[in-house]
Structure 1
Amino acid sequence: MHPTRGLRASLALAAALLSAACASDIPRLPDDRAVIEAETEYRIGPGDLLSVKFFYTNDLNEDLVVRPDGRISLQLVGELMAAGRTPAELSSDLQGLYAAHLLKPAVTVIVRGFASHKAFVGGEVKGPTAVPIDGRTTLADAVFQAGGPLDTAALSSVILLRKGAEGREAYRVDLSDGLMGREPLPVLRPYDVVFLPKSFIGKVGMYVELYINRIVPRNGSFMAFYELNPVDIPNTNTPAAGSGAGGQP
């Protein structure tokens, strides 16, 4: 799929989730700091350049690029999956495989070149785009790489889409709390999608633009009325007159 089409499809999915349910219905991303810090360890991906080094059998040393399917091919042991593993995990995997062939299968994996892993940022940001991530890029970093949030963004209800064990998962992240240091911000993974929805004020502004400014004449008594008599937005949390604790139903 073309990158631009993939970005549009992912952002459309995030918007569809919001239209199908209130943001409060989407679960919050678990904010356990140990889990989030564990995610910062780099995981190998397609296109990465790896150096496989043997301490006692130098003729097996080689540099290779992880294939698009995430696999690598090595002498004696053949193909194995490298994508999704940390360098330490892959080193351990190789040591176990080479134990059947070598007396001293001490081996290490070094990532020499990093492929351009990306996450997608859209919604109420100044420049919706795909942004490069390096294993340490937080959600806030990505938002500011996309130009930063617009004034109309609902920072307390940012949607994070990511691939989970059972397919695409959606989480709600409070970016405003994260920026203030009140909760940790998640480190992004390749192909995460970050979507900033409109705030209530932003939606009101869009409504005024679409349904009032484009319909009401731009001169005469209509505009004078709206300029001199601004419309009050009702507070839906205020009990109606004659009801509640102080009134009769």
Structure 2
Amino acid sequence: MKKKILAMAFALASLALPACAENYTLRPGDQLNIVIVQEQDISSNLQNSKETPYTVRPDGTVSFPLVGQIQASGMTVDQFTRYLRDGLSRYYVEPDVTVNIVQLGGVRVHVFGEVKKPGTYELTKGHTIMDALGASGGFTWDAAKKKVFLIHQDDTNKAIKINLNNMLKTGNLKDNLELKEGDILYLTKNGRIDFARDIVPFLSGAYMISEIKDNND
């Protein structure tokens, strides 16, 4: 029975879609549908945006006719909408600007240790620890589910300890943290963990993989 419950949990995790909150900030890879309306629909005069979404470039920018290059990465949808509206107001009277995210960009995370398919995975931004574990096939029977470590790329000296066992038993998902670009998830074996021996070797390897991929994109 426990096996079936765990299998279902990871199947659901791999299918789950992240919710777009109001404070979601744009990032490279996000695709935006932009519609501008004023007396007549002027979107087609700028670009056929209903058919061709605007993509946030790797450097975080979006180019829009008349407004120019916008540093969109880090803006919320509302902030980006206001920026566009202000820029277009120089050419149109009170333009009605609507911006929707049609597809979220991805984040690369590295899953190592006691999982069935360790490796680097690209997940949609907003996905969580459970989603990454689902993508990597779930944990092995040797995994110490009370000792899952999350390491952020911008703070490799600190490992956040996650009690996956508690999450699965209680359904309390407060520790099911959203993953960021370059995050490492490491599932230890049952037994004592040695950070220097068991985790540090994966840090340089993971970021080397990321650097190589970036240079070849």
TM-score, with structure 2 as normaliser: 0.62
Corresponding residue for 1:93?
83
- Structure 1 contact 153–202 (Cα < 8 Å) conserved: no
Please say if 1:117 is aligned against 2:107.
yes
Please say if 1:192 is aligned against 2:183.
yes
User: Which letter maps to 1:45?
Assistant: R
**Could you say which structure has the higher strand fraction?**
2
- State how 1:70-89 maps to structure 2 within 5 Å: 70-89=60-79
Runs of 4+ in structure 1 deviating by more than 6 angstroms, as ranges, are 37-41
Once residues 120 and 85 of structure 1 are traced to their aligned partners in structure 2, the CA distance between those partners, rounded to angstroms, is 26
Corresponding residue for 2:37?
55
Deviations 1:171-204, CA, capped at 9 Å, x for gaps: 222211222213421122343221112331799x
- Structure 1 contact 152–201 (Cα < 8 Å) conserved: no
Q: Secondary structure at the match of 1:155?
A: strand
Of 124, 130, 133, the match for 1:134:
124
Closer, same or farther in 2 for the Cα pair 1:115/1:55, shift >3 Å? same
Structure with higher Rg: it is 1
User: Which letter maps to 1:106?
Assistant: D
TM-score, with structure 1 as normaliser: 0.55
Once residues 22 and 193 of structure 2 are traced to their aligned partners in structure 1, the CA distance between those partners, rounded to angstroms, is 34
- Structure 2 contact 66–87 (Cα < 8 Å) conserved: no
User: Offset of 1:41 from its aligned partner?
Assistant: 6.5
Q: Identical aligned pairs, as a percentage? A: 28
Q: Secondary structure at the match of 2:189?
A: coil
- Structure 1 contact 157–196 (Cα < 8 Å) conserved: yes
Q: How many residues align?
A: 166
Corresponding residue for 1:145?
135
